[in-house]
Homo-oligomer: A and B are copies of this chain.
Amino acid sequence: MSLLKKNETQVRVIYADTDAMGIVYHTNYIKWFEIGRTELLREMEVVYAEVESSGYYLPVTEAYCHYLLPARYDDILVVQTVISNVRRASIQFDYQIRNGGNGKILAKGFTIHAFVNRKGTIVRVPRDIMEKIRKWEESTSGE
C-alpha cells in the first residue's frame, strides 16, 4: 500500500546542527526525518507516544539519505513526508527536505521501520493503526 498524501513540517537550522564546513552535519537530516514522520503520524491521529504506551515500537531498520545541496545556519527547512510502503510488519517513509526560502530540494531519503512488541518480537502492523492510515488516505483534505 502506497500513500499519496503528504505532511509538511518546518524546522529552523540552529548552530548545533552545523559543522566546521559551515553547513549542516549530514546526520541531522536523518534526525529531522524523525520529526517528519512523527508529525505525519500525528496528522493521522497516530500519536507515536501512545503507540508505545499500547506496547508497540517502531525501531528504524534502514535509513538512507541522498544529499543534493547544503543547508546552512538559520535556514528554514521544509520536511515533506509520505508513507511509501506498508507491509505486513513494516512501514517505509519517504522524505524530501527543501529550503523554505528558495524551494530547492536539499536532501531526499527514506527510513524503514519494523513493528515490534515489548519483547522485541516483530509483529503485524496493529489493526487500528492500519485503519487510521487508510482513513487518512481516503479523507478528502489531501493535496
- A: residues with CB less than 8 A from B are 12, 14-16, 18-23, 25-28, 30-31, 34-35, 38, 47-49, 57, 59-67, 70, 72-74
Which of B34, B64, B67, B70 is in CB contact (< 8 Å) with A16? B34
Contact indicator A15/B25 (Cβ below 8 Å): yes
Can you tell how many copies of this chain the complex includes? 4
Report yes or no: B74 in contact with A47, Cβ–Cβ below 8 A: yes
Flag if B59 contacts A67 (CB, 8 Å): yes
Across the two chains, which residue of chain B brings its CB closest to A47? B74
- Name, among A18, A47, A67, the residue most crowded by chain B CB atoms within 10 Å (CB to CB): A67
With most chain B CB atoms within 10 A of its CB, the pick from A21, A49, A62, A72 is: A21
Identify A49's interface contact among B28, B38, B73, CB under 8 A: B73
Q: Contacts A21-B15, A47-B74: A64 and B64 contacting too (C-beta < 8 A)?
A: yes
